Amino acid sequence: MIATIQYNSKKYQIDISKPIDISIPIDTTKDNVNAWYLDDPKIYAEQFGDEVIKVSEGAPVNFNTIQFNPHSHITHTECVGHITEKVHSINENLKRFFFLAEVVTVAPETLGEDEVISKKQLQVVLGNKKREAIVIRTLPNLETEKKSKRYSNTNPPYLLEEAAIYLREKGIEHLLIDLPSVDKEKDNGLLLAHNAFWNTQGKIRLDATITEFIFVSNAVKDGVYFLNLMVAPFENDATPSKPVLYKILN
């Protein structure tokens, strides 16, 4: 099924029957991805008295409760409300859901005891391209590890502040990355990349988003795609999300 999308003055064709899902689900039957020192998510059938509300237990329906934190357990999209005293909701501020995106692959550089993504690296992969969104795949890119890793106390790679400033100044509105955070795990609450990307010291970018915990298969080539950034309608700073890429045909 071929669809035509007009972006600025150019028309692009995508095959909507061939979505590329880059989200990581909550799956309690497996080792679930996990960060930020929380226990694993839980999905369980509710119980009323002695009755377990589960079809296999004789109930007419399955009636599960899910306990999770979007920042810790699943692909999630967040707005500036994640780091501001004033409450900002991702559901209120994300008004569009299709964006021209560039998928890039970056091998983090060593900086002291850290692995980081620098401004120079992003300049190399983006060049003069004008995009609304960037999808960052980091190396190594092992599916089993990326979808089940326990990130707490591992000091994962992160973006340098200069890299986040560069993306903001280049006009990137939506930053997607396959790590638990764009910032260093333990940075004394500075959150330099978050603050720089959302421009909290200037005119705050309320409609800009950061999506963390994605997974981009090695079969997906670097290049330009259309991104459908679907989010669950939670009035919260962050929500589970399902970013989907579509290859551009023309």
157, 117 Cβ separation under 8 angstroms: yes
Cis peptide before 108 (omega within 30 of 0): no
Question: Beta strands of 39-96 (E only): which ranges?
Answer: 42-45, 47-48, 51-52, 64-67, 76-78
Summarised one tens digit per residue, pLDDT across range 86-111 is 999 999 999 999 999 999 999 999 99
Summarised one tens digit per residue, pLDDT across range 9-33 is 889 999 999 999 999 999 999 999 9
Q: Tell me, yes or no, whether 69 lies in a domain.
A: no
Nearest C-alpha neighbor of 47 from the set 34, 64, 31: 64
108, 138 Cβ separation under 8 angstroms: yes
Q: Tell me, yes or no, whether 61 lies in a domain.
A: no
Summarised one tens digit per residue, pLDDT across range 165-185 is 999 999 999 999 999 999 999
Residue labelled with tokens 């839980």:
42
Q: Write the CATH number for 17.
A: 3.50.30.50
Residue 7 has pLDDT above 90, yes or no: no
For the chain, the average pLDDT equals 97
Q: Tell me, yes or no, whether 45 lies in a domain.
A: no
Q: Tell me, yes or no, whether 67 lies in a domain.
A: no
Q: Tell me, yes or no, whether 54 lies in a domain.
A: no
Q: Tell me, yes or no, whether 49 lies in a domain.
A: no
Single-letter amino acid, residue 80: V
Summarised one tens digit per residue, pLDDT across range 215-243 is 999 999 999 999 999 999 999 999 999 99
Q: What is the pLDDT of residue 9?
A: 85
The first and second tokens of residue 212, run together, are: 């963390």
End-to-end CA distance of the chain: 14
Q: What is the pLDDT of residue 8?
A: 85
- The count of domains in the chain is 1
Percentage of the chain exceeding pLDDT 90: 96
HEC states along 5-42?
EEECCEEEEEECCCCEECCCCCCCCCCCCECCCCCCCE
Phi/psi region, residue 197 (left: phi>0; alpha: psi -120 to 50; beta: rest), is: alpha
Domain that holds residue 142: 2-27+74-247
Residue 163 has pLDDT above 90, yes or no: yes
The first and second tokens of residue 58, run together, are: 């004789």
Q: Tell me, yes or no, whether 63 lies in a domain.
A: no
Q: Tell me, yes or no, whether 46 lies in a domain.
A: no
Summarised one tens digit per residue, pLDDT across range 186-203 is 999 999 999 999 999 999
Summarised one tens digit per residue, pLDDT across range 33-85 is 999 999 999 999 999 999 999 999 999 999 999 999 999 999 999 999 999 99
